[in-house]
Structure 1
Amino acid sequence: MGSQAIEAHRQGAEVYHGAALCAEKSVELLAETHMPLGLLPLGELEEVGYNRDTGFVWLRQRKPITHTFKQIGRQVSYATEVTAYVEDGRMKRMTGVKTKELLIWVTVSDMFHDKDDQSNITFKTPAGLGRTYPVEAFAKEDDPEGKPAAAANGKKVAVNGKARK
């Protein structure tokens, strides 16, 4: 299903290729949407696309990976294609992301943080069940505080050495 959705949204999208550029663009996307910069620790990215008109984003990587967020002790699996619709502080209708709950892999379909309290981030399943964790647990390795890249008050922040609003 992910590939069909990607092709449907490719027209008019910004599409990037190459591991280094894709890694940079994925971090910029998280910064732009005010999400924690370590939320998508994907490796060997081959393609990143963002259709700003529809809010649809896709990330393609060479092979699926499993990452453990040590601070909360959770394993998360990322498929070769991860898709979502993004808006400020939210990624919804996600595909390609699962988390291990006890012995079962559970699909993650939505992640968001409250605009009034950006210290926590909530993850939901398609059934509506959810869990909330501190944002610091999803910090990028070079961002120990784990805060979203830009506060809702519009302050400028540095993203890959460039000032962004």
Structure 2
Amino acid sequence: MPSQGDLPLEKGDIEEFGYNREAGFIWLTQKKKISHVFKQIKKMVSYEPEVTAFVETYKMKKVTGVTAKELLLWHCVVEIYLDNPSFEKLTFKTGMGLSRSLPASAFELEH
């Protein structure tokens, strides 16, 4: 499965993508739930058939439909942001208030 940065996409699975510029709201619907392992950091992430978020510069807030496995537990990811000005780390926050910063390079396109 090819990776497209933070969200692995499989050709033909995307049903709809939308962006409400005024509200900063994005949504993506796909045919099925997708799980992906980011090899560089050995993390599994699962994407529901519908993923939504509010976007700002270098940040996604109120994310829905994304869960990440940490140890044996799955956690809902609710916020993702890129540190500024270095852009070397991506930070992920869960609904429980936990956060984890990971190298941004781990989410670059895989060939």
TM value normalised by structure 1: 0.62
Taking only aligned residues, the RMSD between alpha carbons, in angstroms, comes to 1.0
Instruction: Tell me which amino acid in the other structure corresponds to 2:46.
Output: S
In structure 2, the residue matched to 1:136 is 105
Q: Which structure shows the bigger proportion of residues in helix conformation? A: 1
CA distance in 1, matches of 2:38, 2:57: 23
In structure 2, the residue matched to 1:126 is 95
CA distance in 2, matches of 1:129, 1:117: 22
In structure 2, the residue matched to 1:42 is 9
Q: Which structure shows the bigger proportion of residues in strand conformation? A: 2
Over residues 37-62 of structure 1, what are the superposed CA-to-partner deviations in whole Å (9 max), with x where a residue is unaligned?
Answer: 51111331110000000000000000
Counterpart check, 1:106 vs 2:75: yes
Structure ID, larger Rg: 1
Gapped regions of structure 1 (runs ≥ 5): 1-36, 143-165
Gapped regions of structure 2 (runs ≥ 5): none
Percent identical among aligned pairs is 51
Q: Which 4+ stretches in 1 moved above 6 angstroms?
A: none
Aligned pairs (5 A) from 1:9-88: 38-43=5-10, 44-88=13-57
Aligned length: 106
CA distance in 2, matches of 1:66, 1:45: 15
